[in-house]
Amino acid sequence: MQSIRKVVADTAATDIPILIVGESGTGKEILALQIHRMSDRRDDPFIKTRCRSIAPGRIPVQLQNRGGEISSAGFRGTIFLDDICDLEQAGQRQLLDALSEGDALPGECQSGGRFISTSRRGLEDDLRAGKFAEELYFRLNGVCLRLPALRDRREDIQELVDFFLTKYASLFERPCPKLDDEVHARLANYAWPGNIRQLENTIKKMVATGDADIALTDLIDMASDPSRSHLRSNSSLKAAARAASRQAERELISRALTRTHWNRKKAAQELQISYKALLYKLKQLGLEDSEGS
């Protein structure tokens, strides 16, 4: 990330087009906005276009002049093309026409809109298969920034957790939760298949509910869901530990409910968790309708 920040600092004030590659949730749009705000175009519009939503043969209105021809010369802001890997080939040809106008050198934009594009995957396979125009790729890829997945930059997790705790405590006007060492360890060791976006949503839930157990239960459930096995850690020992922990949790809750004759509030007190967390766990474990069975 330090090398990425250096490249951003060196190129933000230029007109060179930038391609940001990274898994979903790694913060590609945030980085694009940062580049825009550091550039000479900071007071001009930042126009986001989802390439998946562009109909075949259509191109964003910001690239069309009054005569209906493809051009970005009349637009001074930043044109943000989200997931360029989803752009149909007809749209690729039109976009290439827009980027090819004027006397710009290869890899540079003509005066007008500055292009920042993202892709959730590398485009090399699409190039080899002829699914993505090679000339367009080199036009958009003036500088390529590859954002690492959160699991590959675990040293940043603690800082991100603190940032999101403060952000949502202020936004929701709630006390900032104090997380114990066990919670911090679980956050640091989780694989985060959804990257920073998933971490942010988890912390948001912690602040909104005031209960870390509820947010962490979601992480456990996803990690133990067989349909998402490709997102798990490669360690079978960890998978076995999760499964054993989940079964032990189910048995402890069942016994507490039996002893308290299904008085959920007393069971929650006995288990030393919040009443809200117990209700959530009952639902997740399939025990909420077990009374009297």
Backbone φ and ψ for 77, nearest 5 degrees, come out as -85, -160
pLDDT exceeds cutoff 90 at 22: yes
pLDDT attached to residue 233:
43
State the span(s) of the chain assigned CATH 3.40.50.300: 2-148
pLDDT attached to residue 38:
94
State the span(s) of the chain assigned CATH 1.10.8.60: 151-285
**Whether the Cβ atoms of residue 139 and residue 108 lie closer than 8 Å to each other:** no
pLDDT exceeds cutoff 50 at 32: yes
Confidence of residue 293 (pLDDT cuts 50, 70, 90): very low
pLDDT attached to residue 57:
55
β-strands 18-21, 114-119: how paired?
parallel
For 56-70, b where at least 16 C-beta lie within 10 A, e where not — what string? eeebbebbbeeeeeb
- pLDDT, one tens digit per residue, over 131-167 is 999 999 999 999 999 999 998 988 899 999 999 999 9
- pLDDT, one tens digit per residue, over 249-288 is 777 888 888 888 888 898 888 888 888 888 877 876 666 5
User: What's the chain's length in residues?
Assistant: 293
* CA atoms of 150 and 202, how far apart (whole Å): 14
- DSSP letter for 123, please: S
CATH 3.30.750.24 fits 151-285, yes or no: no
HSE (side-chain half, CA atoms, 13 Å) at 252: 14
* CA atoms of 6 and 21, how far apart (whole Å): 17
Which amino acid, residue 207? V
pLDDT exceeds cutoff 80 at 61: no
Which of residues 44 and 56 earns the better pLDDT score? 44
SS3 of 62, please? helix
**Torsion angle in degrees (nearest 10) through CA of 39, 20, 106, 123:** -170
- pLDDT, one tens digit per residue, over 166-225 is 999 999 998 888 888 888 888 988 888 889 999 999 999 999 888 888 788 767 655 544
Mean pLDDT score, 67-78: 55
* CA atoms of 100 and 84, how far apart (whole Å): 17
Mean pLDDT score, 83-101: 82
pLDDT exceeds cutoff 90 at 97: no
pLDDT attached to residue 108:
41
Burial (CB count within 10 angstroms: exposed 0-12, middle 13-18, buried 19+), residue 95 = buried
pLDDT exceeds cutoff 90 at 18: yes
* CA atoms of 194 and 200, how far apart (whole Å): 10
pLDDT exceeds cutoff 90 at 69: no
Partnered with residue 115 across adjacent β-strands are 79
Q: In terms of CATH architecture, what is 2-148?
A: 3-Layer(aba) Sandwich (3.40)
pLDDT attached to residue 141:
92
Partnered with residue 146 across adjacent β-strands are 21
Task: Work out the mean pLDDT of the chain and round it to a whole number.
Answer: 79
Nearest Cα to Cα of residue 33 among 22, 42, 24, 23 = 42
Which of residues 244 and 28 earns the better pLDDT score? 28
